Amino acid sequence: MHIAILGAGNMGIALATVLAERGHRTTLWSIEPDVIADIVNHHRSEKYLSGITLDHQITATGDLAAALRSARGVIVAVPSSVVKRVAERAAPYISKRIPVLSVAKGIASTSFRPLADVVARALGRIHGSVAGLGGPAIATEFSRGTPTAVVVAGRPADTKFWQRALERSTFRVEASRDLIGVSWAACLKNVYAIALGMCDGMRYAMNTKAILMTRALAEMAVVLRSARAQSETVYGLAGVGDLVTTGFSPHGRNRRFGEMICAGEQCDITAVLKTMTVEGVAAVDVAHAWAIRKRLRLPLLDLVWRVCHRGVDPCRSLEAYLRK
C-alpha cells in the first residue's frame, strides 16, 4: 500500500520507518531540496534522523501532486504554523475517500477546534473527518525501535485504517473517538511541561515536581470537561503519557524552556525564545482565552500564562504558588 507523508521532518521520516516495517511504500513530500536528495540518494536524513538507514521503500519528492498520486492514505506532518496552507495546496489531489491523519497536535487559536479539524476544513471536509495523532512519541526513539504507544483519535473507520497501517510489535496504536479531548490534552501538556521545567530550574526535589504534576492533571481534566471531551482521556496516552514525556524528558523543549528561565540569577524569557521554538508559549495563550470564556479556575495554567505573556518573574511566581 502507498502512503504519502506531507512533511519530511523528524516525525514524518520516523513514521515512514514504521510504515516501511509494515511493508508499505511511502513517499515523503518536502520543500527542502537537501533533505530530498539525502533520502533519495543515500537512504538517510542526517538533518533530522542522523544515523538511521531508511528502507528502500521510502522515497521523497518536492512535487506535491507526485507524492499524493496513488496514495491510499495521507499523513500531514508539517509544522502547525503551515498546516492549513499545505492542506489547501494538497486538497485537489486528495479524494474525500482517502483516510487522512494529522500529526500536528493541539487546538486552533481562533476557533478552539482541533488542528485535525483545521486540516479537514482546508481539504473541504467536515469536522471530525481527519484523524489526529496523540500520545508520547519521540521520533528519535521510536524510529530506532524503542517500544512506543500512541493514540489515533477520529472516526472508527479512520482509526482502524491507521491502526492496520502503523501498528507493529514495538509501535502500538490505540483508537479513540475523543478527537477534541486528545487535541486539548496535546495543547495542555506543553503548557504544564513549562511549569515542570521551572521546577527543575529552581532545583526543587521530586516531591515538589509531583505536586505540580498532580495539579496539572487535575486542571487538564477541568478543561476537557468544559470542552465536552472525555475527562478520562487525561489519564491515558494523550494526557498523562504525553505529559510525562514532555515534562520529564531532558530533550523536551517546553520543559527545557521552563528550566532555562528559572536557572541563574536573571530570567530573560525574550532572549531564550529567540533561540528555540516553544509550543507551550502559544498554547497557554489559547488555553487561557478558553479558561476566561468558560470561567474556569486554573491557577497553575494562569501562572504559566503570566510568566509567558505578562512578564512576571517565573521564580518568584512559582515560589508564591507553592506557598498557597
Report how far residue 159's alpha carbon sits from residue 128's, in angstroms, rounded to the nearest whole number.
11
Report how far residue 39's alpha carbon sits from residue 28's, in angstroms, rounded to the nearest whole number.
9
Residue 8 DSSP symbol: -
Q: How many helices (H) and strands (E) does the chain have?
A: 15, 8
294 is catalytic: no
Residue 238 DSSP symbol: I
Considering 47, 105, 160, 189, which one is annotated as catalytic? 189
Joined grid coordinates for residue 274: 529567540
* Contact predicate 127/120, CB 8 Å: yes
Report how far residue 236's alpha carbon sits from residue 233's, in angstroms, rounded to the nearest whole number.
5
* Contact predicate 75/5, CB 8 Å: yes
Report how far residue 49's alpha carbon sits from residue 45's, in angstroms, rounded to the nearest whole number.
5
* Contact predicate 111/84, CB 8 Å: no
Q: First and final CA of the chain: distance in angstroms?
A: 57
Could you give phi then psi for residue 111, rounded to 5 degrees?
A: -95, -15
Joined grid coordinates for residue 121: 476544513
Catalytic residues, by residue number, are: 189
